[in-house]
Chains A and B, each alone.
Chain A
């Protein structure tokens, strides 16, 4: 079983469009949406939720005002400025618990924080594991790990060939959680200076964690010169170019209809995404 993650560095380059297309093209796989703070894959795969689980990502400090003698020690030790006037701001609290250890009155409790939900769903393309991080919550990296672990379990149990992961933008915590230990990272980029800048950073992250990387240039014909620069970068960095996909309004139209773009062949991109998948599925 192979795990493949789709990432990009920069947001909006087409990760989810590509991942949803792979859902339609790959035969025997589990899908995982690891962009847990702005998940969109469900809008194209239309899951029917079979299992719903609470996600307790960490703890938050709560001060019992009846026991608090307002000594202020908690405020002094908190490095996240989360305690003000003997009240903990749950948004700033990082759950370290130092205040609860230091409080002479034992007035501070660390309480489990329900910081999201994760789901196992049925889709017409096979199982989908996805999640919803609570509003303004943290620990998205842990939730990503939860989604990945469960997608992998299902893949092993049902003898699937692939886990296909739709990753988040950026290069930080949730990206690293999506990336570590996969067999291939597909970096979807676009021929803009921002796209190139961000692609280089995310490729370095993949390299840092020893993950094999392919680059796919989306909307490559928007700026051919920049697409050439991407190819030069990949050549110099020993990264394979997976495919070059042209710009086509059909991508947005399919999005509005709520279907993976490869469901119709009446456009310029379907053949390209098919050949990209055919290449990726052969990785070893």
Chain B
């Protein structure tokens, strides 16, 4: 079973719920931290990292000896990751313009300037289109590192997380790589990044159940509603955990009641929990009664 833990709003307690759930279940657990931009679960689970692997995406490399500067690559790239400076002059017919793309402008090359292909790897999605469609077979692919995947053990928990390199944008690709490690014989817990866009979808996709963690504030409610829309679109069953349940207002509770959304658990605001959190200590270590509470949470999901 794959359970993902998400929230629209950041800082509501995703990692708290994910790590404490993992620590409370008497099962063989695999924990995937898919918040690859800011992975924090290791702070609480303290795994012994045993292996580290670099993740890369393929980006184009042009063999200048073969390239005739036709400009096809720049024309097919949907991400503007490749540009041809001073392309040779060709008519529309010659370069075989795709239906959806406008032809490259028919400008005369400047005589003194040599043509050149410029590649912007930070914009490349690694789709392989330029390589596939280059008429001269002048494009090959080289690996560009986007992050690392580290894995190890934390007691009985198999732990894996991805860490995006500084300055990189392609978190969905790294999340995909982390999820390739899913071991279906275990109970898989996925810590999801905040928000509602592509990294979130990539992390949640394929889950059997999603726990949405929120807080009873207008921000918490607004972002919970957005997250619920995502899960409906992905057709994944979900329930809500209300963290710091006794601060703020009643509107999250009312919303869940009105729309018949199961509220799986309330975690009250507790200074002791907040201080433990600040030190990287899981709730179940300072308040062992929560082992049972998280066990009940899991039972609710399974039933």
Interface residues of A (CB under 8 A from B): 8-13, 16, 35-38, 40, 43, 58-59, 77, 79-80, 91, 94-98, 100-102, 106, 109-110, 133, 135-138, 140-141, 168-176, 190-195, 197-198, 201-202, 204-205, 208-209, 222-223, 226, 249, 252, 255-256, 258
Given contact pairs A10-B38, A100-B99, A101-B132, enumerate 4 new A-B contacts (beta carbons under 8 Å): A100-B100, A106-B99, A172-B199, A205-B167
Complex: A141 Cα to B171 Cα, angstroms:
12
Contacts of B127 in A (CB 8 A): 79-80, 94, 96, 98
Contact A197 B78 (CB under 8 A): no
Query: Are B78 and A58 within 8 A (Cβ)?
Result: yes
Contacts of A137 in B (CB 8 A): 197-198
Q: Which residues of B contact A13 (CB under 8 A)?
A: 11
Quick one: which of A36, A106, A193 contacts B278, CB cutoff 8 A? A193
Q: Are B40 and A255 in contact (CB under 8 A)?
A: no
Which B residues contact A (CB, under 8 angstroms)?
8-12, 15, 37-38, 40, 43, 76, 78-79, 98-101, 125-129, 132-133, 164, 166-172, 193-201, 205, 217-219, 222-223, 226, 229-230, 233-234, 247-249, 274-275, 277-280
Q: Decide yes or no: A11 and B99 within 8 Å by CB, A38-B194, A140-B197, A223-B275 being known contacts.
A: no
Interfacial chain B residues near A59, Cβ < 8 Å: 78, 100
Of B12, B100, B125, the contact of A110 (CB 8 Å cutoff): B100
Q: Report whether A101 and B98 are in contact in the complex, using a CB–CB cutoff of 8 Å.
A: yes
Contact call B217/A255, Cβ cutoff below 8 A: yes
Distance between Cα atoms of A68 and B167 in the complex (Å): 41
Which of A168, A174, A193, A208 has a CB less than 8 Å from the CB of B279?
A: A193
A residues in contact with B248, CB < 8 Å: 252, 255-256
Contacting residue for B12 out of A12, A43, A109, A223, CB 8 A: A12
Q: A171-B37, A191-B278 are contacts. A12–B125 as well, Cβ < 8 Å?
A: no
> Once bound together, how far apart are the Cα atoms of A175 and B133, in whole Å?
33
